[in-house]
């Protein structure tokens, strides 16, 4: 059953069209990755899903009901972590719980439970500036999970991390997704990341953003593999190449558009 339905969604700002005619269905419990060249409106799409902005045309349905604004049925993980610097890791996770009205006494235990889930037991009392980038993003993920949204919207969450941290967080995320059964919409510009994480990968065109193709990713018997074993498998390379080919022209076109914009 479709969890999210995007129907002919268009978004323009003034005379500038960011998204045009987006059609996409996301199944319940699915891990969908959206990949596209920079400036193609990926983040705009995520804002629309999160209810932070409204589409200019078309509509977005969540569980069959149109999205009219933000809600706690969707949790967003931002690229810049968006942690409250004056709160500890624990306090940051509790922040989401305060919004949902979880009773004060349950918040502490719940926050600890989710910090444990992302592997941060023992770091509850650290402030964000005392944590590494990877740890900060783990806190942000714990926060988004703790108030138990059905849908997790992730906006290039690992883009600011170094390669090793990114890969270990990708594994964590797969594990968490498998154990919680959340519907995940994951935005990235990394092809490997898309292939590694996604059940399906939606490739976007450069401006105005459209869905060029949706590639189902399945490794057959290799599906149980993790990490380097999966990344070095021939199936992985095949998907990687397929998506690279789809993106290649778009990236070139995006670069051209960018040049023209700067020259103008």
Partner 1 sequence: MTTGTDITAMAAAGVRTPAPRAGTVPESVPRDLSGNGTGNGDEFGTGSETEAGSGSGSGSGNESGSVATAAPEAGAPGRGAAAALKAVRALKAVFVRTVAVLALIALWEVAPRAGLVDATFLPPISEVAVAWWELAGDGQLAEHTQASLTRSLGGFGIAVVVAVPLGLLIGWYRPVAKVLGPLLEVFRNTAALALLPVFVLLLGIGETSKVSIVVYACVWPILLNTISAVGNADPTLVRLARSMDLSTPRLFQKVILPASVPAVFTGVRLAGAVSILVLVAAEMIGAKAGLGYLVNASQFNFAIPQMYAGIITISAIGVAFNQLLVTVERRLSLWRVPASS
Q: Please say whether the beta carbons of 87 and 81 come within 8 A.
A: no
| Residue with smaller CB distance to partner 1, 95 or 123 | 95
Place of tokens 């941290």: 165
- 54 lies in the site for partner 1, by CB under 8 A: yes
User: Which of 4, 6, 35, 47 touches partner 1 by CB under 8 A?
Assistant: 47
Residues in the interface with partner 1 (CB under 8 A) total 43
Binding mask 155-194 vs partner 1 (x if CB under 8 A, - otherwise)?
-x--------------------------------------
- 18 lies in the site for partner 1, by CB under 8 A: yes
| Residue with smaller CB distance to partner 1, 19 or 246 | 19
**CB neighbours of 51 closer than 8 A, spacing ≥ 6?**
67, 68, 69, 70, 71, 74
48/26 Cα distance (integer angstroms): 15
**Contact positions with partner 1 (CB under 8 A) in 56-115:** 69-72, 74-76, 78, 80-82, 84-87, 95-96, 98-99
- 128 lies in the site for partner 1, by CB under 8 A: yes
CB of 150 to partner 1, least distance (A): 14
Q: Please say whether the beta carbons of 142 and 115 come within 8 A.
A: yes
Q: Which residues are at the interface with partner 1 (CB under 8 A)?
A: 11, 13, 16, 18, 38-44, 47, 50-54, 69-72, 74-76, 78, 80-82, 84-87, 95-96, 98-99, 127-129, 147, 156, 254, 258
């Amino acid at each position: 059953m479709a969890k999210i339905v995007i129907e002919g969604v268009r978004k323009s700002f003034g005379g500038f069209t960011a998204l045009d005619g987006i059609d996409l269905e996301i199944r319940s419990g699915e891990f969908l990755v959206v990949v596209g060249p920079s400036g193609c409106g990926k983040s705009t799409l995520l804002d629309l899903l999160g209810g932070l902005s409204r589409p200019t045309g078309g509509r977005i349905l969540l569980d069959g009901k149109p999205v009219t604004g933000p809600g706690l049925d969707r949790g967003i993980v931002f690229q810049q972590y968006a942690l409250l610097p004056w709160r500890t890791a624990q306090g940051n996770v509790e922040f989401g719980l305060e919004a949902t009205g979880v009773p004060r006494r349950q918040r502490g235990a719940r926050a600890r439970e989710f910090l444990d889930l992302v592997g941060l037991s023992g770091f509850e009392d650290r402030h964000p500036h005392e944590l590494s980038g990877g740890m900060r993003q783990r806190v942000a993920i714990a926060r988004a999970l703790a108030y138990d949204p059905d849908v997790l919207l992730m906006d290039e969450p690992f883009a600011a991390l170094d390669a090793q941290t990114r890969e270990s967080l990708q594994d964590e995320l797969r594990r968490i997704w498998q154990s919680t059964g959340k519907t995940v919409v994951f935005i990235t510009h990394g092809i490997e990341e898309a292939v590694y994480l996604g059940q399906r990968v939606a490739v976007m065109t450069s401006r105005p953003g459209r869905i060029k193709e949706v590639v189902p990713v399945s490794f057959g018997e290799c599906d149980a593999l993790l990490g380097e074993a999966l990344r070095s498998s021939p199936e992985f390379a095949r998907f990687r190449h397929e998506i690279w080919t789809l993106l290649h022209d778009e990236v070139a076109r995006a670069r051209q558009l960018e040049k023209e914009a700067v020259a103008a």
